[in-house]
Structure 1
């Protein structure tokens, strides 16, 4: 069953009824198989997916269900065997490497379970990396980094390196870095998977704040019940297909 959002779908939490929101992500017929023959793994078997703009959407499913595969296809990090992905109306599946690189710099931010920070750089320098790649002027870059670190509650930790920060603080730096270039879409793969309960709750609150404050659409794969409860809608990945449980 497609996870399509239409005018009959109840309004998301805290909103008033009205027209269906614009769609940020549209995926149709996504198929991805790894290997061949008896050892083939059919991660996705024809997934249809619609993600409205400005929502936090959680994808859940058992380990190995294909959640990471789905996020990689939506973010252009991998290509489907068949099917298509549109981001804000632009088709990713036909893009070349240069087009995808520009998309990652300007439109999509990624957050991973392993944080992915550069150990020798400070928190501020890690957040500033995407801005340096875009050759953002120094003053503008410094101001954006300062605002982001304050937003994630780490304004006083700008000069600390990842090894001097807790896991939760590192993940918040990773979120700030992903937001540096004001992406339209934030893709997060198990962002709370390595965190304790208190820190998971803090990162969940941060992701909700990102949707409200930065106007970002967030697509997250997770097993975290707290993050699932905070989502505007929850999608279940089962047997290589998406089914919608509906708005929270």
Structure 2
């Protein structure tokens, strides 16, 4: 039996309540390659993300941060272990259910911004709503609200090439919020920005978590940004430890 959200099958549900964490990662293993040349990115990683918190994930380059985000976001499947998001066990979902989960419940923010060059800022923000076939009036209202939230209310008609790096990342944050996600995953969102702009973007994420009530996991190697997080997790030798 499938719930009316379209993303959760009866087999996938493990129970959810206000006391349940938004994300539970249990004994996650993932490798690339086989045999002697295999690279073990994750070796039993386990942790939880509570609802409404901003958590920073740090680790040296190549430590597996992106791999972990991909597994949590349903972009890849683990070799062993499981990821439970808002009561839904990802390992119990088929490809179509994973697609719906990614579309409706998870927002992604990338280091490279990922904006469509020929679309305006407003059109980029509205892409997820178009894919969901939202009512045009609802879509326009949501886009306007989000552009205002990220401080770009007057830049909706500009294309990415006409915006600074910091402004492009703000557009990508607004786009990630379009479908009211429960979870935000950000992979080095300030990696292409100067220190001052990167700090402003991280402060914006902090404000967004509070205003939108989402849970956010932000991978970063910038020590200046770690102080803005509620908690800091470190990925080292394939395992996650809390600081």
Question: Which portions of structure 1, spanning 4 or more consecutive aligned residues, are displaced by more than 4 angstroms?
Answer: none
Name the SS of the counterpart of 2:242 in structure 1. strand
Residue 44 of structure 1 corresponds to 42
C-alpha distance in 1 between matches for 2:93 and 2:183: 17
Normalising by structure 1, we get a TM-score of: 0.89
Match of 1:69 among 67, 70, 86: 67
Residue 160 of structure 1 corresponds to 158
Q: Does the Cα contact within 8 Å between 1:188 and 1:219 map onto a contact in 2?
A: yes
Residue 218 of structure 1 corresponds to 216
Name the SS of the counterpart of 2:178 in structure 1. coil
Q: Does the Cα contact within 8 Å between 2:20 and 2:87 map onto a contact in 1?
A: no
Normalising by structure 2, we get a TM-score of: 0.91
The one-character-per-residue Cα deviations of 1:49-68 (angstroms, maximum 9, x if unpaired) are: 10101000011011110001
Q: Does the Cα contact within 8 Å between 1:108 and 1:185 map onto a contact in 2?
A: yes
The one-character-per-residue Cα deviations of 1:8-61 (angstroms, maximum 9, x if unpaired) are: xxxxxxxxxxxx964100011100000112221100001111010100001101
- Report how far residue 225 of structure 1 moved: 1.7
Name the SS of the counterpart of 2:91 in structure 1. coil
Q: Does the Cα contact within 8 Å between 1:76 and 1:93 map onto a contact in 2?
A: no
Match of 2:114 among 113, 116, 133: 116
Q: Does the Cα contact within 8 Å between 2:105 and 2:182 map onto a contact in 1?
A: yes
Q: Does the Cα contact within 8 Å between 2:125 and 2:143 map onto a contact in 1?
A: yes
Unaligned runs of 5+ in 1: 1-19
CA RMSD, aligned part only? 1.0
C-alpha distance in 2 between matches for 1:210 and 1:92: 26
Unaligned runs of 5+ in 2: 1-17
Note if 1:102 corresponds to 2:100: yes
Count of aligned positions: 226
The equivalences for 1:195-214 within 5 A come to: 195-214=193-212
The equivalences for 1:22-33 within 5 A come to: 22-33=20-31
Name the SS of the counterpart of 1:213 in structure 2. helix
Name the SS of the counterpart of 1:59 in structure 2. strand
Match of 1:174 among 172, 195, 202: 172
Name the SS of the counterpart of 1:48 in structure 2. strand
